[in-house]
Copies of this chain bind each other. A is one copy, B any other.
Amino acid sequence: MKSPELRESVYQANMELDRRKLVIYSWGNVSAFDREAGVIAIKPSGVAYKDLHPDKMVLLNIDGNVLEGDLNPSSDTQTHLELYRNFKTIGAVCHTHSVHAVMWAQACQEIPCFGTTHADFYYGPIPVTDPMRTEEIKSEYERNTGKVIVRRFMKGHIDPEQMPAVLVAGHGPFTWGSTAAKAVEAMVVLEEVAQMAMGTLQIHTGQEPISQALLDKHYLRKHGKTAYYGQR
C-alpha cells in the first residue's frame, strides 16, 4: 500500500468511528501499519473529527519516529506500537471510549460469550487486563498499556487473530484487524456485544456462556478454511 492509500484508509476508519457514534469529541483513534514499507499512519492527538483530513494523519516508523506530518501523533501511539511489535500479523489498531465496552472495562470484568452475535466475530470471552500497577502508570504509561495487553494474551494463551479485542481495566477497549476498516468493525461489534451481555445479566444473573459447540459453529462459519458465510 502506498502512503496516500494508507493515510486515506486511516482517515476513513477514524471518521467511521464518528459516524457510528462510538466517539465524542476526539476520544478515539485508529492507526494502520504497512509492514512491508515499515510505515504506520495514525490520527493526530486531540484533533476533532470534523477537522480531520487524510493529510493530517501522522506517519511514523515502528520506533515511533515521525516520518511525515506536523502534528503530534495520538497520545496512545506507544500502545499501538507495542501491539504491532507483539501481535505480528495485525495491520491496524483502534481505540475508543465507547459506552458499553467502557462499562465492562471499568467493572474489570471480561465479557462472557452469551450468544451467536458474539461468537460470529469473537472466539471466546473478551479478555480484560489486570489493573495497571503504580510503577507501570508512572513511567512509560502508554507503552506499558500495550505491555499489559500483551501479557494478558500470553498468560491466557489467546490468539490475537481469533480475539481481536481487549478491555484495559479501568480504561476501555482496544481492537485490531488486518486493515483499519476491520479494526473499526471489531469495535462496532464489541460495543454491540457489550450492550447485549449487560442486558443478558440483568434478565438472568448467573447466565452461563453458550456451549463450546455453538461457539465453534458460529465462529468457524465465518472464519477460516471451512467458512461458508457470505459471497465466496
Chain A residues engaging chain B, CB cutoff 8 angstroms: 24-25, 27, 44-47, 71-72, 75, 97, 99-100, 102-109, 114-117, 131-132, 134, 137-138, 141, 170-172, 185, 188, 192, 195-204, 207, 210-211, 213-214, 217, 221, 228-232
Contacts and interface: CB of A to CB of B under 8 A. Distances in A.
A231 B199 contact: no
Identical copies in the complex: 4
A128 B207 CA distance: 15
B141 A217 contact: yes
A170 B213 CA distance: 12
Given A25-B185, A25-B188, A201-B203, 10 more contacts: A24-B188, A24-B192, A46-B230, A99-B195, A102-B115, A103-B196, A103-B202, A131-B210, A138-B213, A170-B210
Nearest to A195: B99
B214 A132 contact: yes
B72 A172 contact: no
B106 A211 contact: no
B116 A71 contact: no
